[in-house]
């Protein structure tokens, strides 16, 4: 998928299928039979309290955590099959974490082009050209040769997003990408996510930004204690929740925000 292409409407093609996924850390059961389908060009927001399983689900999708049972299919291929090449799978998935995870000893350009060079085996010149174009596009084209600690938090997170999308992944996973930012910097990162949606990206986003989730999402999923309690359109979830757990969570969050 070319993230620089013209925006596309949500399709009927399932880009990601999570089927009865269960996952535990020793005796702590974190995911308890999760089923989720994300269609191509769809933006799905995961909401829920800390510890509800949002981040663990994203880590399972990217094969950073091994599931105990169930299946995860990416574009129709079972990526949880033991025979699957995890490096090749991860090359098709872009991931952005809340704490940037940029390599401090590498320049911004080297951070962005690392996967292109090492995983996709792209030539250094071509990788650099694509990396510079991507950094220019997200507004930090003049920062190619500086190091991460010379950037603001918002700039570092935008670089992390550039690194995730420069390889044209099939799906983008965003894990609380604004939680480590000062409030004044949150907007510039969220604006970039809006741009990605307009351009047709397929995104799963764990977030505490309720107003943003309501604005950008095609579907919102509420998790509690490792279970999907409710999934629906933003209007359904935020205006007419069907489950008491969803209603109680939103009331607590919105009361705190006010």
Secondary structure (DSSP) of 65-130: S--SEEEEEETTEETTSTTS-HHHHHTTEEEE-TT----TTS-HHHHHHHHHHHTS---HHHHHHH
Q: What is the pLDDT along the chain (258 residues), one digit of tens a residue?
A: 344 344 456 678 999 999 999 999 999 999 999 999 999 999 999 999 999 999 999 999 999 999 999 999 999 999 999 999 998 899 899 999 888 889 999 999 999 999 899 888 899 999 999 999 999 988 899 999 999 999 999 999 999 999 999 999 999 999 999 888 888 888 888 999 999 999 999 999 999 999 999 999 999 999 999 999 999 999 999 999 999 999 999 998 876 654
Report pTM: 0.90
Please report the pLDDT score of residue 9 as a whole number: 66
Across the chain, what does the average pLDDT equal? 91
Domain spans of the chain, in order of start: 12-101+171-257
pLDDT tens across 190-204, in order? 999 999 999 999 999
Given this model, what pLDDT does residue 10 score?
66
pLDDT at 256: 61
3-state secondary structure of 25: strand
Residue-level pLDDT at 189: 87
| Residue-wise pLDDT tens digits, 204-254 | 999 999 999 999 999 999 999 999 999 999 999 999 999 999 999 999 887
Identify whether the C-beta of residue 208 lies closer than 8 Å to the C-beta of residue 176. Answer: yes
Q: Under CATH, which number does the domain 12-101+171-257 receive? A: 3.40.50.300
DSSP string, 152-174: -HHHHHHHHHHHHHTT--SEEEE
């Amino acid at each position: 998928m070319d993230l620089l292409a013209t925006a596309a409407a949500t399709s009927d093609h399932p880009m990601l299928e999570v089927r009865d996924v269960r996952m535990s850390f020793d005796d702590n059961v974190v995911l308890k039979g999760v089923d989720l389908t994300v269609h191509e060009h769809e933006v799905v927001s995961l909401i829920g309290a800390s510890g509800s399983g949002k981040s663990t689900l994203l880590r399972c999708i990217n094969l950073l955590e091994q599931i105990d049972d169930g299946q995860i299919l990416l574009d129709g291929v079972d990526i949880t099959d033991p025979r699957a090449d995890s490096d090749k799978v991860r090359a098709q998935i872009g991931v952005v974490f809340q704490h940037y995870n940029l390599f401090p000893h590498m320049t911004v350009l080297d951070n962005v082009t690392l996967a292109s060079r090492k995983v996709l085996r792209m030539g250094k010149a071509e990788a650099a050209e694509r990396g510079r174009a991507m950094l220019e596009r997200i507004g930090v084209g003049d920062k190619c040769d500086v190091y991460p600690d010379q950037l603001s938090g918002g700039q570092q997170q935008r670089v992390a997003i550039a690194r995730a999308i420069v390889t044209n992944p099939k799906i983008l996973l965003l894990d609380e990408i604004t939680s480590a930012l000062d409030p004044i910097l949150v907007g510039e990162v969220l604006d970039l996510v809006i741009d990605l949606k307009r351009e047709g990206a397929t995104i799963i986003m764990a977030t505490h930004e309720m107003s943003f989730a309501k604005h950008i999402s095609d579907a919102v999923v509420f998790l509690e204690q490792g279970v999907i309690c409710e999934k629906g359109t933003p209007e359904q979830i935020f205006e007419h929740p069907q489950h008491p757990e969803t209603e109680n969570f939103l009331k607590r969050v919105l009361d705190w925000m006010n």
